Each structure stands twice: as C-alpha cells, then as structure tokens.
C-alpha cells in the first residue's frame, strides 16, 4: 500500500477532479479565415442601406453643427472645472459633453466637410481621417466614439463581398458610414443662440390636426391598403398579401357568423320567451 502525504493526496484529488470536469478548448485547424479578417458584429452589407441612411444636409446645417460641437467642447471644459472645484455630480448628458475633446471636434469638422461636398454620403476610412486631421488612428477611433456617444454622429459598420477561391461568398470589413445629427439631449446645455427657434402656435396646431386626419384615414383602410401605404418594396408586397388574407377572413366572419354566436343568440331568445310567460 502506497502512502501519500496530505499535500500529495490533495494534489492528486484536485488533479483528478479538474481532469474529469475541465473542458479543453477545441484545437484550431490552422486554416486561415476566409477573408483574412472577421466581419465585425452589427455590420451591414455595403450598398444595401445607404439610400435610406444618408441625408443631404440643408443649407448652413453643417456650419451650425460645427458651431454646436465647438460650444459643447467649451461647455464640457466648464463642467470639468465645476467637478474639480465644486465636486458636482454630472448627469448623463453632462458627462457626454464633458467627454468632448479637441480631437473629436477636428474629426467632426472633416466629416461635416465631406457631408457638404458629397451631398451627405460620408464613408471615409480611418486612414483618410487620420491623414486629413493629422491625428493618429487611435485618436480618430476615440473621437468617433465620443461623437457617437454625445449624439453628434450616427455610425454604421459595413462589409463587402470579395472574390476568393472555393465555394461560397467571401466578405471583408470596409469603411463605416456616418451621418451627422443634431444632439437633442444636449440642446439644454448649449447657449441659447444655438438652440432652434420654437415653432409658432398655429404651425403646431396645424401639425396636430394633420396628424389626427391621417390617423382617422388610416383607421378606415383595410389591412392590405395599410400595408401598401406604410411599407414599400418587397416587404410591402408580402404584407399586402397577408393583409388581403386577413381582410378576406374578416369578411367571411361577418357574412357567416360562427355557430357559437348563433347558439348564444338562440339561448337569449329562449330565455326572453320564458320570462314573458312567467309574467303572464
């Protein structure tokens, strides 16, 4: 009989336990990825959404957005000073403003320039932004994250198909698509002259009346008509067919009621006759 010390016995027990329950990582085949680089999560194929994603900026809109970004940078510096001196607790919107940097404003200026020159179609690479702004790739990536978090920018990752050997399609990551936006949650923290002027009361009332009229008109539409009006393209056709079937079922139910309703109505008639006889 072999004798073990307490330490050896514990080591053997733990070794056997771990060996029986631990899961080994599957061995990699060693074959390279199809495209050499994986497609990032939440990516959309290039050319399939840009028509609805990009928006042509109005006259003077890019200049106004740039002024707002610069004002947000100044406001963020004041908030940082208040946190250091007064120990103030910032809200979520104030933290987004405090996170603004000069590099983020410089990158935003380049994106707005591209939006103005290319009618809203903005999809530069990190290398292009780094060369145009004289900033590093890491600084550009951090600036885009800051702008997106503050609400100045909407970013969409994209991938594209590439040719390769073997069956099946090949994909690779390509440059992101960007759309400059107006950060609504930051307007209260920016100077008053940068905020949009409120709409007149008559315009607000007209918009409300128009919305009520549209809601009433949509309520009178059938399911097929509603699908054709609200959704277009291939999805609209599919929904229109489905709506036509629903409309047909509703018409059949109105023309030929279910036996359950017939039986319940007969029971009500019998109960009514019985009540009359008791009264007489």
pLDDT tens per residue, range 86-127: 988 888 888 999 999 999 999 999 999 999 999 999 999 999
Asked whether the beta carbons of 271 and 263 are under 8 A apart, the reply is: no
Interacting residues of 222 by C-beta distance below 8 A, sequence separation 6+: 243, 247
Indicate yes or no: pTM above 0.75: no
**Out of 14-23, 130-139, 158-167, 204-213, which region has the weakest mean confidence (pLDDT)?**
14-23
pLDDT of residue 268: 59
**Does the structure show a pLDDT above 50 at 216?**
yes
3-state class of 157 per DSSP? strand
Give me the residue label for tokens 């009433």.
216
What average pLDDT is seen over the chain? 79
Element at 145 (helix H, strand E) = helix 137-150
pLDDT of residue 196: 59
Give the model confidence (pLDDT) of 228-254 as tens digits: 767 766 777 777 788 788 877 777 766
> In Å, what is the CA distance from 8 to each residue of 5, 13, 33?
5, 9, 45
pLDDT of residue 137: 95
Element at 240 (helix H, strand E) = helix 233-255
β partners of residue 159: 45, 173
pLDDT of residue 266: 53
């Amino acid at each position: 009989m072999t004798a073990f010390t307490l330490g050896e016995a514990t080591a053997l027990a733990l070794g056997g336990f771990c060996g029986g329950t631990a899961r080994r990582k599957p061995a990699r085949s060693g074959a390279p990825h199809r495209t050499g680089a994986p497609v990032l999560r939440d990516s959309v194929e290039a050319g399939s959404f840009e028509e609805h994603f990009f928006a042509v900026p109005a006259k003077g809109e890019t200049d106004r957005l740039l002024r707002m970004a610069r004002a947000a940078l100044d406001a963020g510096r004041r908030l940082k000073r208040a946190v250091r001196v007064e120990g103030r607790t910032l809200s979520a919107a104030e933290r987004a403003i405090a996170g603004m940097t000069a590099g983020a404003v410089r990158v935003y200026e380049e994106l707005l320039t591209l939006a103005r020159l290319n009618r809203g179609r903005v999809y530069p690479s990190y290398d292009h932004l780094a060369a145009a702004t004289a900033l590093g790739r890491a600084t550009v990536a951090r600036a885009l994250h800051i702008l997106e978090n503050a609400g100045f920018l909407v970013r969409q990752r994209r991938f594209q198909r590439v040719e390769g050997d073997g069956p099946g399609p090949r994909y690779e990551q390509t440059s992101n698509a960007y759309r400059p936006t107006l950060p609504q949650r930051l307007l209260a923290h920016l100077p008053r002259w940068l905020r949009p002027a409120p709409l007149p009361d008559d315009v607000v009332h007209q918009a409300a009346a128009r919305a009520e009229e549209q809601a009433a008109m949509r309520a009178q539409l059938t399911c097929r008509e509603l699908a054709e009006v609200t959704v277009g393209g291939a999805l609209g056709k599919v929904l229109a067919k489905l709506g036509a079937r629903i409309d047909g079922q509703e018409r059949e139910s109105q023309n030929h009621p279910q036996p359950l309703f017939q039986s319940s109505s007969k029971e009500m008639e019998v109960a009514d006759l019985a009540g009359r006889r008791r009264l007489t």
